[in-house]
Structures are given as C-alpha cells and as structure tokens.
Homo-oligomer: A and B are copies of this chain.
Amino acid sequence: MTFYKQVRPILMAIEKEIGSHLEARTPLAEEVSRYILKSGGKKLRPLLFVLSSHLCGCENGEEIRLAPIFEYLHVATLLHDDVIDEAHLRRGKPTANNVWGNTIPILAGDFLLARALELAASSGLLKMVQLLAQTTSWLAQGEILEIVKTDALDLSEKEYFEIINGKTAVLIAASSRLGAVLAGAEEDKENALQKYGHRLGLAFQIIDDVLDYIGSEKEFGKPVGHDIKEGKVTLPLIYALKACTLEEKKQVKKQFERRKEEDIAAIVTLVKAKKGLELATNKAIEFVKEAKEALSIFPPHPAKEILLQIADFVIKRRY
C-alpha cells in the first residue's frame, strides 16, 4: 500500500475513536464488541467516509467522530454472518460464536447496529440515518439471497451481482456517499461518491471471491476453495462454467454435490484452466475503472489521490 503512509494518521484517529461508544450496562456486550472490533480488518469503510468528507471540504473533526458508524455496522454484520456460516475462524482468530456460542454474538450484533444508528443520529443529519437504515435492510436482504442460493450451481451472473451488491457494495457505497452528505456537498458530488463506492465494493467482493481460489490460509485466513465447500458459487466459477462442455458441466455438478476434498480441488483446477479467475479479475478491473472515472468531476485534491490509489489497490491486494 504505497498510500499507507498518507492514510496512517487518519487510520490512527479512526482507531482511537472506534470503541469509545461501547460502554454497556452489560459488560459482556462491550467485551464481545471489542473482541470483534479488534480482530484486525482494514477499516476500509470508515476510511472511505473520512476521505470523501475531506474531498468535499469537511475536515472539522466531525468526520472522525462519526467514522466508527461504518465499522460498527460492518462488524455487526460479521457477527451475524459468522453465526449463520457457523464459522470458526476469522482472520486467523476464533470467531465470536466460537468463543461465546451463537446467542451472545447475535445480540452483540444487534447492540453494535443500534450503536451505529445512535451515533448516526447524533450527527443531526436525518439523511444519514435514513441511508444507513436502508443500507442495513439491503445488507440483510443480500445475505438472505446468498443463503437461499447456497448450493445452487446454476446461480446466474445477475443473481451473483445482486448478492454482492447487497452484502458488500451497498455499505461501501454508503460510506463514501455519506462523506459528501456530511460535508453538505452538491448532489452531483454525492452521486459521484456513491458510484465510486458502489463500483469499488463490487470489485472488492469479486477479488475476495477470486482470492478464495488462490490465497493461502496463512495469508488470507481461509483455506483455498472455502466458498465451494460452503456451497457458495461465485463469479470465477460462473465464468468457468460458461466455458465448459456439457460433459464437463455434468462432472462439476457431481463434484459440487459431493464436495469432498478432492472434488473441491478438482473444481479449483477447472476454474483456473477455464480462465475463471482472469475473467472475474477483468470484471473487477472494469469496475475499478468506473469507480475512478466517477471521481473525475472532482478537482485535484490529496483525498482524491488516495481514493484513486485505494481503487487500484483493491485489484492488487492479495489478502
């Protein structure tokens, strides 16, 4: 991350602010919240909010004060997701459900979601609350669609994009858009940052799904082919299947239904052979291009430079 040096002071200010809203009547709510918030993570969403605020001329500290909203919302969904996926590890650390069982993380997620919206309301900006509530409802719907479509090898590209739009892109889009809202920027700036975040979010999730086929467990915290194991069909597999003969498709169907270790390995090999990873990465590159183009309405600005670099980084990242 060549831009890391530039964003470091912002990230440190965000880190300092995160966790200052967790005091709870029940110590356990606070404990679980801190545990998940400290599980690392890139703090991408609060960072985008702060940079977008700066780009739109708001740099009075309010953007730092409100930045935790986006991390709280994000980790609230992670808490619920991990319960739903029965996940044991996240970024190499035991998940909250692994430590506390299922029930407490469900409630800690509700607690964090509520704290995020409380903090948003403290901005005095109804539009912010409105957009965040809408985003939360989309997040839940994206997740529901993903679950409904689990084990569906015939998932269409359109359905895939609906899922990743809901589960990833809407919150990233809201993070950058709301920077403009906080700054009271004109509608075209708000729309530009919405588009930037949306395309960035789609690219981000596609690359996440590509990395599932290549990342080592050590680097990425998940074994290769984890999505397939979970019955999740993602873009690389969708593209690979398009290039398959009828015979090959039948073969994949059998392997996908059995999903033993050797089946997963065979599917991973096939996806690579059919150029599923390149094709999906190309799609992500297209989205990153659109994200960067969306920022063209803004004059030169240090925050703009960083946002452009973040977009490029989404493609390059290997974790």
Contacts from A to B (Cβ < 8 Å): 24-26, 28-29, 77, 80, 83-84, 102-104, 106-111, 113-115, 117-118, 120-122, 124, 126, 129-130, 133-141, 143-145, 147-148, 162, 166
Contacts and interface: CB of A to CB of B under 8 A. Distances in A.
Nearest to A85: B103
23 contacts: A24-B137, A80-B107, A80-B110, A83-B103, A83-B106, A84-B107, A103-B147, A104-B144, A107-B140, A107-B143, A109-B110, A110-B140, A111-B137, A113-B136, A114-B133, A114-B135, A114-B140, A115-B133, A117-B133, A121-B126, A124-B126, A126-B126, A129-B129
A177 to B, nearest CB: 16
A174 to B, nearest CB: 12
Contacts of A144: 26, 28-29, 104, 107-108, 111
Interface residues of A, dominant DSSP: helix
Q: How often does this chain occur in the complex, in copies?
A: 2
A143 B29 CA distance: 10
A26 B136 contact: no
Nearest to A24: B141
A120 to B, nearest CB: 8
Given A26-B145, A28-B144, A129-B129, 6 more contacts: A25-B138, A80-B110, A103-B147, A107-B144, A117-B136, A118-B134
A136 B138 CA distance: 19
A310 B259 CA distance: 58
